[in-house]
Amino acid sequence: MRTAFTADQIRGAEHVLMARLPEGTLMQRAAAGLAAVCADLLGRVYGRRVVLLVGSGDNGGDALYAGERLARRGAWAGAVLAGSKTHEAGLAALRQAGGRVVDGSALDAADLIIDGLVGIGVAGALREPYARLAEDANAARAPIVAVDVPSGVDASSGRVQGAAVRAKVTVTMGACKTGLLVDPGASRTGTVELVDIGLGPYLPDPDVTALTRDDVAGLLPRPGNESDKYRRGVLGVAAGSDLFTGAAVLAVGGALRAGAGMVRYAGPGAPVTQVRSHWPEAVVTELRRPSIEDVGRVQAWVLGPGLGTGDWAHELAAEVLASDVPVLIDADGLTLVAGDRGLLRRTAPVLITPHAGELARLTGADRADIEADRLAHARAAAAELGVTVLLKGSTTVVAESAGPVRVNATGTSWLSTGGTGDVLSGIAGALLAQGLSCYDAASCGAYLHGLAGRLAAEGAPLTAADVATSVPAAIRAVTGGHVR
């Protein structure tokens, strides 16, 4: 499992470790790791032009000492001093190795840029001249290596307020920072390289985690010799309407492909016809009235995709939410709940799967604010509503009222097409029916959904049906060890 920490958590661990080591030891460890990554990126160090963007803090010192190491290997190293003060020992070491102080025009001829403008202790928008230098670096042709976090990215949240460096590689010291895994910051980090400086024993419980393939493989239910369709989990799906028949087809398909032992679909006439046609494996109940009494026993429900938001849908949602099994609420179900929060007064678990706009309707927050700080709003919604939140988007996050937020590391931008959320609901719902908690079902569902999207896309457009079709391949990749 990958772990990430806030700036305060990192600083606390550093404070304890620095008290046990000679002064400057951590900076030298960081500089050595940074220089090694830069050398690998350059390929040939001798004669290459490296420009250091140096701020007032320790990140500037890391950059200066890394520049010294590269200069001693024959690189041309020039430092742009942006801060009101400079790490004097680091600057002296750079000069002694043949480096020099330059102005921002040196960026145009650089082969590599090291971003040491600001570190994890800085929040909010970059001030001048930092903002201008960040934009100039982004405009240069050379790749950028960020020290710890790209300047302009909040290390604890991923929030970006104004100019921010877009790094090819981020060399982070001691432990991964939360903001490197969560958009909008994650989109500016490039590849994350971790340098071990000895913080491990002093770190607290993580702020954020990301499941790996092995984690997911360990959580996924697998049928045993005694399994039958009932023991493997029966999922109820209340989705679709005469207007939106495809949502029902996609949700049922996602559930079947994700290993549910049985899927019981309940809905009105038009989607019933479509589900029967596409998925003869599903047990279908046509609802003449908004009641689930004739559907049969299930272990979990998926509620909402394409259901509509009228009185009929509201009555059906109330019936489903009055049951004693876990319920995943998506799409129109979220709109219904936003209009009647009393529907969430239940003792059984609830998993909601909103995008930012749907979460805004549920909580009253501004959509742009949610997009800017996904972690905080997902956490707040989980605590306020008493549910597990899977917040969809460029970074999918899973939050409960306690414990670390999980972020999903799989996926592709090709998944941003109609119907893929319905497939995700089916996948996560199937995992709920098979006995996973909301937290694990959401996390594993997002992982498989993202991986299925990657397998289906192969760098080209896809449809939601393609994603559903690729779910078994994603499961095989996870359990068989063949993730691409």
Q: What is the pLDDT of residues 362-416, one digit of tens each?
A: 999 999 999 999 999 999 999 999 999 999 998 999 999 988 999 998 988 889 8
Residues 185, 118, single domain; the answer is yes
Range of the domain at 49: 2-205
pLDDT in tens, 261-285: 999 999 999 999 999 999 999 999 9
70 within 8 A of 43, measured Cβ to Cβ? no
Residues 378, 398, single domain; the answer is yes
Whole-number pLDDT of residue 223: 82
Q: Is 59 annotated among the ligand-binding residues? A: yes
Q: Is 120 annotated among the ligand-binding residues? A: yes
Q: Give 56-73 as a DSSP string.
A: SSHHHHHHHHHHHHHHHT
Residues 195, 246, single domain; the answer is no
182 within 8 A of 370, measured Cβ to Cβ? no
Q: Is 60 annotated among the ligand-binding residues? A: yes
385 within 8 A of 362, measured Cβ to Cβ? yes
pLDDT in tens, 432-476: 999 999 999 999 999 999 999 999 998 789 999 999 999 999 999
Residue type, 189: T
Q: Indicate whether 129 pLDDT > 80.
A: yes
Q: Is 121 annotated among the ligand-binding residues? A: yes
Whole-number pLDDT of residue 458: 85
110 within 8 A of 53, measured Cβ to Cβ? no
| Domains in the chain, number | 2
CATH number of domain containing 235: 3.40.1190.20
Domain boundary pick from 162, 187, 205: 205
Q: Indicate whether 116 pLDDT > 70.
A: yes
Q: Is 306 annotated among the ligand-binding residues? A: yes
Q: What share of the chain is helix, strand, coil (3-state, %, to 5)?
A: 45, 15, 40
Average pLDDT over residues 65-70: 98
Q: Indicate whether 361 pLDDT > 70.
A: yes
**Beta-carbon count within 10 A of 346 CB:** 16
Of 439, 413, 417, 414, nearest to 428 by C-alpha is 439
Q: How confident is the model at residue 229 (pLDDT cuts 50, 70, 90)?
A: confident
Residues 301, 414, single domain; the answer is yes
Q: Is 309 annotated among the ligand-binding residues? A: no
171 within 8 A of 135, measured Cβ to Cβ? no
Residues 331, 442, single domain; the answer is yes
Whole-number pLDDT of residue 182: 94
Tokens in use for 170? 């981020």
Residues 17, 88, single domain; the answer is yes
Residues 198, 277, single domain; the answer is no
Q: Is 335 annotated among the ligand-binding residues? A: no
Whole-number pLDDT of residue 121: 86
Residues 189, 261, single domain; the answer is no
Domain boundary pick from 205, 229, 248: 205
CATH number of domain containing 115: 3.40.50.10260
Whole-number pLDDT of residue 230: 76
Whole-number pLDDT of residue 283: 97
Domain boundary pick from 205, 222, 252: 205
Count Cβ neighbours within 10 Å for each residue of 263-281 and write b for 16 or more, e otherwise. Answer: bbbbbbebbbebbeebbee
Whole-number pLDDT of residue 483: 42
pLDDT in tens, 146-197: 999 999 999 999 999 999 999 999 999 999 999 999 999 999 999 999 999 9
Residues 190, 308, single domain; the answer is no
256 within 8 A of 283, measured Cβ to Cβ? no
Residues 326, 452, single domain; the answer is yes
This prediction's pTM: 0.92
Q: Is 339 annotated among the ligand-binding residues? A: no
Cα–chain center distance at 15: 29
Q: Is 196 annotated among the ligand-binding residues? A: no
Residues 324, 463, single domain; the answer is yes
Q: Is 151 annotated among the ligand-binding residues? A: yes
Q: How confident is the model at residue 482 (pLDDT cuts 50, 70, 90)?
A: very low
Q: Is 130 annotated among the ligand-binding residues? A: yes
Q: Is 62 annotated among the ligand-binding residues? A: yes
Whole-number pLDDT of residue 414: 87
Q: Is 394 annotated among the ligand-binding residues? A: yes
Q: Is 61 annotated among the ligand-binding residues? A: yes
Average pLDDT over residues 45-71: 97
Average pLDDT in the chain: 95
Q: Phi, psi at residue 238, to the nearest 5°?
A: -110, 95
Whole-number pLDDT of residue 484: 39
Q: Which residues pair with 327 in a beta bridge?
A: 301, 350
Q: Is 247 annotated among the ligand-binding residues? A: yes
Residues 305, 172, single domain; the answer is no
Q: Is 58 annotated among the ligand-binding residues? A: yes
456 within 8 A of 285, measured Cβ to Cβ? no
15 within 8 A of 30, measured Cβ to Cβ? no
Distance CA 279, CA 136 (A): 55
114 within 8 A of 66, measured Cβ to Cβ? yes
